[in-house]
């Protein structure tokens, strides 16, 4: 069955292994499945819910696009653009904000996490950005959205808005309630220093993550220093319970090899981690090094990246503008 897929990634800059294995690798696989239509967006409007340096933001938009392309995303097969190029996203978001209910937004746990203790100083944009996310998706009649566990709540909000709009204006399936595409394995790559925390750019220790621009020596050094425990690698998966660091490293290896973790345990069960880490480093270097080279090559040609994004923006705008015109006609504009 064909799927129309939409997903967005914030332009944070310096993307890491967690972004690659948890999202980008999956985007490429979805792109290469027959009959899928894929739209991938660098969501720069979402980024400004927190204060951004303008020059750094521009560079991060290009770097995110470069990382997508270097990882295998093909602009001739998928639409790749940055959100601010398509005015319909902002216009659609305002219209949908008049459909969404305050109670729905009050239940969004990510706002509470990102705003921290001092919610009074958080931007309005941070509070309402799940509505912009809903507009992002529904302007393209997306049927499926790749999401992690932390985004499922936002997709439920999107579905609620679609159903309310369709009911309020008596239009059957005008706004398409999207289905989640949840990556069953290896969607959450954890810190190399603490298996209970997600791998993150914001972690103070660079040793906690593999950056997609790391060189071979850095990758080897980080894996060598990655936290494990004193026990050998287990033979059965149930023995990984309460061993988060071991499970994380084995999961990374399994994802790189496109195999189940059980297969990795067959390969390394009973062995010590020093031998396994050598193999894991080799796999990471083999996968990451070509991506790193291509990212750097693309970043040396910012005009080319801007042209790719602008071209994708034109394609996206043709779809989204048409949907917003229909939306406005339905509500009486």
In the sheet that 79-82 helps form, which strands lie side by side, from edge to edge? 79-82, 37-42, 4-9, 144-147, 179-182
List 77, 201, 227, 257, catalytic entry: 201
Alpha-carbon span 62 to 214, nearest angstrom? 18
Q: How far is CA 272 from the centre of its chain?
A: 33
List 4, 58, 164, 198, catalytic entry: 198
Backbone angles phi, psi at 196, to 5 degrees: -95, -10
Alpha-carbon span 318 to 311, nearest angstrom? 11
- Per-residue DSSP letter, 83: G
51 is known as an active-site residue = no
Alpha-carbon span 196 to 242, nearest angstrom? 10
Alpha-carbon span 159 to 198, nearest angstrom? 27
Backbone angles phi, psi at 16, to 5 degrees: -125, -175
Which two three-digit tokens encode residue 97?
């904000």
List 3, 4, 114, 315, catalytic entry: 114
DSSP letter for each residue of 279-323: HHHHHHHHHHHHHHHHHHHHHT-HHHHHHHHHHHHHHHHHHHHHH
Which two three-digit tokens encode residue 136?
């992002």
193 is known as an active-site residue = no
Which residue in 250, 272, 319 sits closest to 92, CA to CA?
319
Alpha-carbon span 77 to 46, nearest angstrom? 25
Under 8 Å between Cβ of 261 and 249:
no
325 is known as an active-site residue = no
Report, as residue numbers or ranges, the catalytic residues: 114, 198, 201
């Amino acid at each position: 069955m064909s799927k129309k897929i939409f997903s967005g990634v914030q332009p944070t800059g310096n993307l890491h292994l967690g972004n690659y294995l948890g999202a980008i690798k999956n985007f490429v696989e979805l792109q290469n499945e027959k009959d899928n239509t894929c739209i991938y967006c660098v969501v720069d409007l979402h980024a400004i819910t927190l204060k951004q340096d303008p020059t750094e933001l521009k560079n991060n938009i290009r770097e995110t696009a470069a990382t997508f392309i270097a990882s295998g995303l093909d602009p001739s097969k998928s639409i790749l653009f940055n959100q601010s190029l398509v005015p319909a996203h902002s216009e659609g978001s305002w219209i949908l904000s008049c459909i969404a209910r305050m109670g729905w937004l009050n239940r969004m746990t990510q706002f509470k996490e990102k705003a921290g203790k001092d919610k009074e100083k958080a931007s309005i944009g941070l509070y309402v950005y799940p509505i912009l996310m809903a507009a992002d998706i529904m302007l393209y009649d997306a049927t499926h959205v790749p999401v992690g566990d932390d985004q499922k709540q936002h997709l439920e909000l999107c579905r609620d808005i679609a159903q309310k709009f369709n009911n309020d204006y008596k239009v059957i399936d005008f706004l398409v309630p999207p289905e989640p595409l949840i990556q069953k394995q290896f969607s959450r790559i954890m810190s190399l220093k603490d298996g209970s925390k997600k791998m993150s750019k914001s972690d103070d220790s660079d040793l906690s993550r593999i950056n997609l621009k790391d060189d071979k020596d850095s990758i080897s050094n980080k894996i060598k220093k990655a936290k494990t425990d004193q026990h050998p690698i287990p033979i059965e998966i149930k023995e990984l319970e309460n061993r988060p660091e071991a499970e994380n490293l084995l999961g990374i290896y399994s994802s790189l090899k496109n195999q189940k973790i059980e297969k990795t345990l067959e390969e390394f069960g009973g062995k010590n981690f020093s031998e396994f880490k050598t193999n894991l480093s080799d796999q990471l270097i083999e996968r990451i090094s070509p991506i790193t080279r291509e990212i750097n090559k693309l970043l040396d040609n910012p005009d080319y990246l801007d042209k790719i994004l602008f071209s994708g923006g034109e394609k996206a705008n043709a779809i989204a503008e048409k949907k917003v015109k229909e939306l406005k006609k339905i509500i009486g504009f």
